Amino acid sequence: SRNDQVVLDMKLYALDHVLYLAYFIENLQKSILKFAQENSDVIIPGYTHLQQAQVVLLAHHMLAYVEMLERDKTRLADCFNRTNVLPLGACALSGTSLKTDRAHVATLLGFASVAANSMDVVSDRDFIIELISSCSITAMHLSRISEDLILWATKEFNFIDIDSSFCTGSSIMPHKKNPDVLELMRGTTGKIYGNLMEVLTLLKGLPLSYNRDLQLDKPPLFETVETTQLMLETMAKLFLNLKVKEDSVAKHTTDESFFCVDAMDYLVKKGVSYRDAHDVLGKMVKECLDKGIKISHLSEKQLKGYHPLFNDDVKKLFNPQSSVKIKASFGSTNPSLVKQQLQAWSKKLDA
């Protein structure tokens, strides 16, 4: 029947393109990892609420992207396993009275198992929804990465230089270098979300088993897969040509407010409660800002005026290199731990 034949074709398409997508995701991971390794000593501001928070290694930030994309690969692997079920032999909806060997057909076509219910399998498009959903999450990750890079390329941030091949000029302002490729990726994500909603809405009211409505599931799937692959391929090329403006980045990490948590931890390690340490540093920062002086320029006597357990050695904490080095928890921005993560990812992605 066309019913089980078309589902078969769609499953074969989905299985192939899950593998292609996983390949393109891994290729992007490798590009990001290469960029991280080439800039492993660079320290950048980290943000919460888009406000400067604490300093982190740029490589640590990049590894966050690698982790995101790894989850995308595992989602695709799950999608592959649930798609890898043979529909052929279900016929129109009830099976057949003719002698068939569905298990043998499954082996010939490379399917892991045979669908157990003929009515379900001819009307099932869950695998399409799941694949588009996986692509939607991947696109969301690419959009978030794009947003970071767009911000970092502005004059206000000035962290990176995006290669001109991924930018355009202005029709009226000759000095402009607009990150159009990243903006289009960010915008295209909405299109992929729309495809997901289209198929979900298409299926929500269908009775069992086959209905002609299901003919409309193909355009959103094809567009989603092809667009996601293009986005992944483009982002990988962009990272291979991305440059860091190290001098500019360094200027952004001198604000001593970045290191307040380190000074709080200094007191906590000496037995001060976290609540009290927080109050001490809050008062210190406010008064130093009001007076226009740096905490690192305070005398030991002035430091002890805020808390008797402060000594001159606390001032050594007020620099970006010290801030990243004193982090000790697994998964933190500590340079030694980040180096281990870079090596582990390099080994994993080269395997």
Point out the residues that are catalytic: 49, 170
Angle between the N-to-C axes of helices 218-240 and 180-203, in degrees from 0 to 180, rounded to the nearest 10: 160
Report yes or no: 326 and 313 within 8 Å, Cβ to Cβ: no
In 70-134, at which residue ranges do the beta strands (DSSP E only) sit?
A: 85-86, 113-114
Question: Rounded to whole angstroms, what are the CA distances from 324 to 43, 45, 170, 270, 335?
Answer: 8, 11, 40, 20, 7
Angle between the N-to-C axes of helices 335-350 and 2-38, in degrees from 0 to 180, rounded to the nearest 10: 140
> What pairs with residue 56 in β-bridges?
44
Report yes or no: 77 and 22 within 8 Å, Cβ to Cβ: yes
Phi, psi of 298 (to 5 degrees): -70, 145
In angstroms, how far is CA 201 from the centroid of its own chain?
Answer: 27
Report yes or no: 135 and 225 within 8 Å, Cβ to Cβ: yes
Run of H or E including 47: strand 43-48
